[in-house]
A and B are shown apart, each in its own frame.
Chain A
Amino acid sequence: MRAFVVSLLTLFTLALAHTPFAAAAEKIHVVTTIPDLADMTRRIAGDLVDVTSLATGVEDIHAVPMKPSFALLLNRADILVLLGLEAEHAFLPGLLEAARNPRVLRDAPGYIDCSVYVTPLEIPTRIDRSLGDQHPMGNPHINLDPVLGKDMARAIADGLTRNYPEHAAVFKKNLDDFTAELDAAIARWQREAAPLKGKKLVSYHPDLLYFAERYGMIPAGTIEIRAGVDPTPGHIAELEETMRRDHVDLVVRERHYPANLAATVAEATGAKLVELPVMVGGVPEAKDYISFIDYNLHTMLKAVQGG
């Protein structure tokens, strides 16, 4: 018993001795929820920041594991950058509760919500669990639309400026450079995406809404019964029937969803199966935000053009 108490006290003393209060801030410590935001933050703040993303990019953003080590990262963070619209509801509130860092709590200056300049789609007119795992503020998968990516980058730059006005000029210049690069890519993507216009798609979860809207595609249902609710055989039969009737072109499997069912649905309906990441890092080719959108668009085009 005594040994237990002694070891507790020893640990306590060691921890105190190790406190890195003074050694703190040469760099601004930023934690982002997803790698897309980490890439944008690096582009905007350059060497001023040290950025860590909680998700690696292969996860479902609604099911990122709540690891205690993430609470530790958030405890040390000066800035938290998140996608917003409650996309991170499954893990971020719990982690913030454990992180004990008032600087990055909701609505604190260090809490940068990237959805603030976005007009969301699919804002529910009725909040009811019979309609699935609803997002009361609208569909949160804004990062799949590069035009909204510009709004997200602006929210990051504004948030960083709010916290570090002394670096405002750097943030503005870097944001302008990034936006210019993104604008050029957006113009190219707009030209390249012409064959996607009017194509109908079914995805596993409503992740593709903003992407489809941007390039004139038509969302025609989801494999899930409702967002977040696994399909039943009856739903799949009904979906397949509708897909055949409406000549749906594509079945999109977001890569964190099971492969078999999406393949079966595609095969049964004659639609092409497309497998897409939903974040930077979801596939090795999606190294940064621009290559992520490049990958998604080209994969979709390849499927539509029969490549």
Chain B
Amino acid sequence: MASHSFRGRVALVALATLFVLAPRAFAEDPSVTDLKRELQAMKRQMQQMQETIRKQEEAINKISAGRPAATAEPAPQGAAPAATAAEEERVKDEIAAKVARELQPRLAALNKTFPSQFNPAIGLVMDNVFSSKDHERANFEFRSAELGISANIDPFIRGYAILNGTPDGIDVEEAAIVTTSLPYNLTVKGGRFFADFGRLSHQHDHNLPFVNRPLVLDRFVGGESQGDGVEVSWLAPLPQYVTLTAGWYNKIGAENDRADNGAPRDFSKFTYLGRVASFLNFNDDNNVELGGSYAYTPKIDIEDRNERHLVGADLTYRYTPLSQASYRGLVWGTEFLFNREDRPVGGFPAEPTVEPLVFKRRDAVGLYTYLEARLTRRYYPGFLFDYVQDVDGVEPSTRAYSPYFTIWLSEFQRLRLQYTYLDAPTNHESQFFVQWSIALGSHVHGFGDR
């Protein structure tokens, strides 16, 4: 017992000494690898010290064995073990306090010396498409490498940017500031971002359920609903989920060539947006999202006098059996758009002309609707139907029929096969696509990705 107690005490003192000396063992640059190495070194030192202590104990025991028993006055029975235990506790407390005092500044320093901890989350999405069409040669198309960066900025806002590298160069697709803690359920977004118009126009290409953006979004919105401006969104304090959005932008649509995005303009030449969206939960497994959008431009640049109205209605029905959400499901998504603006009679001439253009009000509609099933965690077959009228009212309408099959090889790797039969006024053709997309690095399941 005495030997045990003595051995324990020696070990504790040795441990304390070790920790007192340990600070020198910590490297100046306390990276994780270095710390691990230091820990290993400390383990080895500890083993060596234990070995030394063992040898010393053996020596002490040998010496003690040759001596007569101690002649000190015996303590009352039971008091000695109690005193020893109390002493041990005291030593333990002292050591613990000492260790904490020695370690704490180093732990704090460790945190402080990792400024990279403040680096934003970074992710990269790569999107590649092989296409083969009746009237075009086949092509491997590197579509994009999108670098996404996001982080909280302070207690009041967060920021994110999407830098898109394409064969044409690098473009800032989005770079936006978003409030996080405004009162009254308000959120303000500013900078360059995808305006809250409709259902799929504010999704990046690689996030679409199919290979290509629906024709109506390409023609009426101008690809992604990119806009430089500001947007205010409000979650209504109703029992029902209802959000209202108001936006103000230079223009909406990355490929909308009605206005020059960079040029200053009169207030009448900005685009103003209103959107209402709601959600109906039929039961645990079935629900519908509904939305209505309206983008108004009082004067568009073309003739300096034409106003433009773009109206959209969207519906997304989802069947998601809760207990099998990763393996079964169905989505039906539809969007209908209406465009009204003055367009030149006969369309824009291919070459500049001295003749003044004659404008006439043109209404055009378009829609897409798709149905997608989730058969397993990997396989998602679907069918997309496109219909769009010519905004100039010159050519007949275009239709497209696209069965597609998406294979999620993992959460971060996706293959998609698509066939499209394009029924356009001057082009009737079959098109085949194979899309291979991946995401690497940080990923967040944002609310818009649902």
Contact = CB atoms under 8 A, between A and B. Distances in A.
B25 to A, nearest CB: 22
Nearest to A258: B327
Contacts of A18: 236-238
B284 A56 contact: yes
A15 B279 contact: no
B445 A4 contact: no
Interface string A117-138: 0000000000001000100000
B200 to A, nearest CB: 17
A256 B323 CA distance: 5
A25 interface: no
B102 interface: no
Given A65-B320, A228-B411, A89 B445 contact: yes
A65 B322 contact: yes
B242 A15 contact: yes
Interface string A132-166: 01000000000000000000000000000000000
Nearest to B378: A230
Given A11-B276, A60-B325, A91-B445, A229 B410 contact: yes
A68 B289 contact: yes
B440 interface: yes
A228 B309 CA distance: 46
B294 A5 contact: yes
Given A12-B244, A94-B445, A229-B410, A105 B238 contact: no
Interface string B229-241: 0000001111001
B450 A94 contact: yes
Interface stretch (B179-187, B349-357, B380-388): B179-187
B447 interface: yes
Interface in A93-120: 93-95, 97-100, 102, 105
Q: Which residue of B182, B327, B440 has the most chain A CB atoms within 10 A of its CB atom?
A: B327
Contacts of B241: 68-69, 71-72
A65 B185 contact: no
Nearest to A224: B377
Contact of B325 (A65, A75, A129): A65
A19 interface: yes
A1 interface: yes
Interface string B287-323: 1010010100000000000000101000000101011
A48 interface: no
B444 interface: yes
Contacts of B445: 66, 89-91, 93-94
Nearest to B287: A67
Nearest to A226: B410
Nearest to B285: A65
Given A65-B322, A67-B279, A98 B237 contact: no
Contacts of B447: 66, 71, 94-95, 97-98
Given A18-B237, A94-B447, A1 B410 contact: no
A58 interface: yes
Given A59-B325, A75-B185, A93-B445, A4 B294 contact: yes
Contacts of B446: 93-94, 97
Contacts of B3: none
B366 to A, nearest CB: 18
B449 to A, nearest CB: 7
Interface string A243-260: 000000000000110100
Contact of B274 (A5, A64, A105): A5
A68 B279 contact: yes
A102 B181 contact: yes
A91 B450 CA distance: 9
B117 interface: no
B329 to A, nearest CB: 9
A230 B181 contact: no
B294 A1 contact: yes
A203 to B, nearest CB: 16
A4 B411 contact: no
A268 interface: no
Contacts of B444: 93-94
A94 B237 contact: no
Contact of A105 (B181, B279, B289, B325): B181
Q: Which residue of B311, B377, B449 has the most chain A CB atoms within 10 A of its CB atom?
A: B377
A93 B322 CA distance: 19
B322 to A, nearest CB: 5
A18 B444 CA distance: 34
Contacts of A98: 235, 447
B48 interface: no
Contacts of A180: none
B17 interface: no
A147 B74 CA distance: 46
B235 A59 contact: no
B289 to A, nearest CB: 7
Contact of B440 (A19, A60, A94, A129): A129
Contacts of A237: none
Contacts of A97: 446-447
B47 interface: no
Interface string A3-42: 0110010011011001111000000000000000000000
A67 B378 contact: no
B140 interface: no
Contacts of B323: 58-59, 255-256
A97 B445 CA distance: 10
Contact of A11 (B244, B324, B377, B411): B244
21 contacts: A4-B311, A8-B274, A8-B276, A11-B236, A15-B238, A18-B237, A19-B237, A59-B322, A59-B323, A60-B325, A66-B445, A66-B447, A69-B279, A75-B235, A89-B445, A98-B235, A98-B447, A228-B411, A229-B411, A230-B377, A258-B327
* A-B residue pairs, 4 tightest by C-beta: A15-B236, A102-B181, A68-B279, A58-B323
Interface of B: 180-182, 185-187, 235-238, 241-242, 244, 274, 276, 279, 281, 284, 287, 289, 292, 294, 309, 311, 318, 320, 322-327, 376-378, 410-412, 440, 444-447, 449-450
Given A12-B236, A15-B236, A18-B238, 18 more contacts: A1-B294, A1-B309, A4-B311, A8-B276, A65-B322, A66-B447, A71-B447, A93-B445, A94-B444, A94-B450, A97-B447, A98-B235, A100-B187, A229-B411, A230-B410, A255-B323, A256-B324, A258-B327
